[in-house]
Amino acid sequence: MTRVLISFTGVGKSSLVHLLCQNQVLGNPSWTVGCSVDVRVHDYKEGTPEEKTYYIELWDVGGSVGSASSVKSTRAVFYNSVNGIILVHDLTNKKSSQNLYRWSLEALNRDLVPTGVLVTNGDYDREQFADNQIPLLVIGTKLDQIHETKRHEVLTRTAFLAEDFNAEEINLDCTNLRCLAAGSSNAVKLSRFFDKVIEKRYFLREGNQIPGFPDRKRFGGGTLKSLHYD
C-alpha cells in the first residue's frame, strides 16, 4: 500500500482528506487525535495505455508544531515508509503557512533536531532538503473564507511556498466539490502528484530520474511545498 502523510493542526486537513478519499464534503469535522487513515483510489496515468488503479493511504497525523518532545517522538513513528507528503496550510491564517517549514523539517529530517528553519530575514534554509526525494504537494484550505477583494493579495503572499518546497500548489474550498472537478487545474495537479507518489513507491530506483517528469533539483532551486496539521 502506498502512503501519503498529511499533518498539522487547525488547518482543515480532516475535511481535505475526506474530500480527497470520499469525494464528499465533511459535514462535521473534528480534531484529529493520534493518526487517522483513509484510502484514496487513484488511476495512475489515467487515459494512457499504462493506466492502472492503485490504493493510496492518506495518514492524517494530529499534533501541532509546538508540541512537546514526547509528542513529537510519538508522531515520528508515522514518518517511516512515507511515499509522499501533502503540506496543508490555512489561507486565512498567515502563521500556518510559516509553520509548514518547521513541520517539513520534522517530517523529512526525522533524525535531526528541527532548529534553524526560519531565519531573521524570512529566508528558508533549503540546503537541509537538498537530497529529498519524497514528492510534495502544497495545499491551501479555506479559500471560501477569503473575501474576493482580498484573494489576490492572500494568494500572492502564499505563492512563494510552492517555490520554496519545489512543489505544485493547490488552493481549495473543501466545502465545494467542484474545486476538484475532473479536468480542472486542481484535479490535474493532484493527479500529477499522486502519479509521482506511485512512481516513488513502485518504479523509482536510486540514482534514476522519475520517468515522465523533468529533472528538477529538489529544494536547492528554491521550490518547496506545504505540510498540513489539523
DSSP track, the chain? -EEEEEE-SSSSHHHHHHHHHHSS--SS-----SEEEEEEEEEETTTSTT-EEEEEEEEEE---TT--HHHHHHHGGGGTT--EEEEEEETT-HHHHHHHHHHHHHHHTTTS-----B-TTS-B-GGGGTT--S-EEEEEE-GGGS-HHHHHHHHHHHTHHHHHBB-EEEE--TT-GGGG-TTSHHHHHHHHHHHHHHHHHHT--TTSPPTTS----TTTTSBB------
The domain of 183 spans 2-109+128-203
Written as tens digits, the pLDDT of the chain (230 aa) is: 788 877 666 788 889 999 999 999 997 776 666 688 899 999 999 999 999 999 999 988 876 555 556 556 667 777 778 899 999 999 999 888 888 888 887 887 654 443 333 332 345 566 665 567 889 999 999 999 999 999 999 999 888 888 888 889 999 999 999 999 999 999 999 999 999 999 999 987 544 444 443 333 333 333 233 333 34
User: Is residue 91 included in any domain, yes or no?
Assistant: yes
Instruction: Provide the pLDDT for residue 130.
Output: 57
Q: How far apart are CA 105 and CA 7, in angstroms?
A: 12
Q: How far apart are CA 179 and CA 12, in angstroms?
A: 15
User: Is residue 141 included in any domain, yes or no?
Assistant: yes
User: Is residue 10 included in any domain, yes or no?
Assistant: yes
User: Is residue 215 included in any domain, yes or no?
Assistant: no
Q: Across-strand partners of 140?
A: 89, 171
CATH number at residue 174: 3.40.50.300
User: Is residue 119 included in any domain, yes or no?
Assistant: no
Number of domains in the chain: 1
User: Is residue 157 included in any domain, yes or no?
Assistant: yes
Instruction: Provide the pLDDT for residue 111.
Output: 46
User: Is residue 117 included in any domain, yes or no?
Assistant: no
Instruction: Provide the pLDDT for residue 124.
Output: 56
User: Is residue 43 included in any domain, yes or no?
Assistant: yes
